[in-house]
Structure 1
Amino acid sequence: MKLRLLLFALASIILSSCSSKRNLVYFSDLADSSIYKTRILNIAESKIKSGDILGINVSTLSPESNILFNSGVNNNPIRPIDPTQPTPTSSQTPIGYEVDRAGNINFPVIGKIKLIDLTKEEASDKLYNALNGYVKNPIVNVRFLNFRVTIIGEVNKPATFNIQNDQVSVLEALGLAGDLTLYGRRENVLLIRQTGNDRTMVRLDLNNKDILNSPYFYLQQNDVLYVEPDKSKLQLTNNTRTTSIIVASATIIGILLSRLLFN
């Protein structure tokens, strides 16, 4: 019996040595009894980039003009497909206008028009001014059809998510992915963002309340979030075989010692 207890204690020590104290609480530096209030200054509207797909709807007093501008006539119409959803029929599939490398779209009647680096509202105003010479007081609405973010790593549901609203925070995106696993490093979430020919990589600390004021708290289209695994999981993965060997060796040593003692 004493030998079994000794072996159990040895195995417990080996397994516990692979783990470390971790902080699993978001905004853990925020006191329980305090009210934290801050003005939101970091909301920035997403700007149109090369490769974006825009849904553009034009409303006028002329039924013929509405048919012309909303018929989806385009040299390069794009039909975005969400792999997590059933394949839509042709009547349900929105037709978008892809922004080419020069930042232009090819729109009916007015031809090529440059929209890169504009917000949705700015693009609507520019299209309004361009169309106003052909129809009177058109109403132009622009939206993103390819606003998506990718969450990978130590989350429960890693995937690429299509976002209906083009304003989503890091926390909302992680919520779509089912939140972090117990092994996810909340203090070291990697954000990867591409703007033009530049790629930005920044580390975010979700344990710190200052993340709420970060310019990277709100995501942009095609952002990627990577949640690193904690060292305890890496050690657990790398040392599983070693731990098994050590436990087996300890068992054999214990049996040999018991025989020596009995002899």
Structure 2
Amino acid sequence: MINFKNTLQKISLLIASVLASSCATSKEIIYFQDEPISAEQNAVMNAEITYKPNDLIFISIGGDADAVAPFNLPAVSYSTSSLSANADLKMPTYLIDKNGNIEYPVLGSVKLGGLTREQATMFLKNQIGAYVKDPVINIRLLNFTITVLGEVKNPGTFTIENERVSLTQALGMAGDLTIYGKRDNVFLIREQGNKKVYTKFDLTKISTITSPNYYLEQNDVLVIEPNPAKIRSASYNQNNGVIISAVGTLATIIAIFLVK
């Protein structure tokens, strides 16, 4: 004889445990929950990126047109089709090689790897200043990209135009973490030289914004792990929903008979 009362209790406990395991507390969801940072901790927020191998940069020199002409590569005209009469101008760019160098007109091999934008500007200004009076240097990094993967609304690779992006801005570009993202375990993967460096962020703590890695570098990858509820739900298939619904219906029927 089936003990309906005992069976009903077991089903109720099962449903309750499933519901409890899927719940999240505010401490798992809310960003930056602790005390504000001090003035001394703000210093790290002024960090600048440095140029690396495989960076694609645009450099233009302003000043007297005739004097600066040898230092500016001409824009390249190209068309997307051999049958097209229209052509676009492609601005000249320089690719930093594995040793951090570029080949620059007149100056020859120039090392920009490891320099910030300000340092590279001053370096070129001093070098070209030997030939041109008061040259105006404009440098721009064209392929500053970051990648955000995992539990965000819009994962993907993003190109940054202003050469400066913070961890929180990058997550904002990706549409923020979903409710299933682990906010205390966000991973950063960064290439430094010939090795990869891994950093973990805890977005529930305000101290995250004082991390030396809070401002991202080109080609950084952020990975947001799913929380346990998401992992458990991933193990279910469409049939499990039907089964759970059937179990609920069965529990209701049993309860009706017990009442009678």
Q: Give the equivalent residue in structure 2 for 1:112.
A: 109
Does residue 50 of the first structure (1) align with residue 53 of the second (2)? Answer: yes
SS of residue in 2 equivalent to 1:125: helix
In structure 1, give the amino acid aligned to 2:31.
Y
Matches within 5 A, 1:133-152: 133-152=130-149
In structure 2, give the amino acid aligned to 1:166.
E
Residue 29 of structure 1, CA deviation? 2.3
Whether the 8 Å CA contact 2:59–2:137 is kept in 1: the answer is: yes
Whether the 8 Å CA contact 1:55–1:144 is kept in 2: the answer is: yes
Q: How many residues align?
A: 237
In structure 2, give the amino acid aligned to 1:101.
K
Distance between the aligned counterparts of 2:69 and 2:245, measured in 1?
Answer: 76
Q: Give the equivalent residue in structure 2 for 1:64.
A: 66
- Cα deviations by residue, 1:167-195 (Å, 9 ceiling, x for unpaired): 21101111111111110111110001111
Q: Give the equivalent residue in structure 2 for 1:213.
A: 210
Q: Give the equivalent residue in structure 2 for 1:29.
A: 34
Q: 1:257 to 1:59 in 2, by over 3 A?
A: closer
Task: List runs of 5+ in structure 1 lacking aligned partners.
Answer: 78-88
Residue 57 of structure 1, CA deviation? 1.4
Q: TM-score, normalised by structure 2?
A: 0.79
Distance between the aligned counterparts of 1:254 and 1:49, measured in 2?
Answer: 63
SS of residue in 2 equivalent to 1:227: strand
Whether the 8 Å CA contact 1:15–1:243 is kept in 2: the answer is: no
Whether the 8 Å CA contact 1:190–1:201 is kept in 2: the answer is: yes
Q: 1:185 to 1:94 in 2, by over 3 A?
A: farther
- Cα deviations by residue, 1:132-162 (Å, 9 ceiling, x for unpaired): 2222221112221111111111111111111
> Relative to total residues, which structure has the larger helix share, 1 or 2?
2
1:185 maps to which of 157, 171, 182: 182
Distance between the aligned counterparts of 2:213 and 2:15, measured in 1?
Answer: 42
Q: 1:249 to 1:130 in 2, by over 3 A?
A: same
SS of residue in 1 equivalent to 2:235: helix
Residue 239 of structure 1, CA deviation? 3.5
Residue 14 of structure 1, CA deviation? 5.4
Does residue 38 of the first structure (1) align with residue 39 of the second (2)? Answer: yes
Residue 38 of structure 1, CA deviation? 3.0
In structure 1, give the amino acid aligned to 2:155.
P
Distance between the aligned counterparts of 1:24 and 1:256, measured in 2?
Answer: 38
| Worse-matched range after superposition: 232-241 or 100-109 | 232-241
Q: Give the equivalent residue in structure 1 for 2:18.
A: 15
SS of residue in 2 equivalent to 1:136: coil
Residue 257 of structure 1, CA deviation? 7.4
Whether the 8 Å CA contact 2:56–2:96 is kept in 1: the answer is: yes
Distance between the aligned counterparts of 2:129 and 2:68, measured in 1?
Answer: 13
Residue 245 of structure 1, CA deviation? 7.5
Distance between the aligned counterparts of 1:195 and 1:57, measured in 2?
Answer: 28
1:199 maps to which of 178, 192, 196: 196
Q: Give the equivalent residue in structure 2 for 1:90.
A: 88
Q: Give the equivalent residue in structure 2 for 1:223.
A: 220
Distance between the aligned counterparts of 1:141 and 1:154, measured in 2?
Answer: 38
Distance between the aligned counterparts of 1:196 and 1:232, measured in 2?
Answer: 38
Q: How big is the alpha-carbon RMSD for the aligned residues of Structure 1 and Structure 2?
A: 3.2
Q: TM-score, normalised by structure 1?
A: 0.78
Whether the 8 Å CA contact 1:50–1:102 is kept in 2: the answer is: yes
Residue 27 of structure 1, CA deviation? 0.8
In structure 1, give the amino acid aligned to 2:39.
T
SS of residue in 1 equivalent to 2:43: coil
Q: Give the equivalent residue in structure 2 for 1:82.
A: none
1:130 maps to which of 92, 105, 127: 127
Residue 247 of structure 1, CA deviation? 3.2
Distance between the aligned counterparts of 1:179 and 1:226, measured in 2?
Answer: 12
Whether the 8 Å CA contact 1:18–1:235 is kept in 2: the answer is: no
Q: 1:116 to 1:231 in 2, by over 3 A?
A: same
SS of residue in 1 equivalent to 2:179: coil
Task: List runs of 5+ in structure 2 lacking aligned partners.
Answer: 77-86
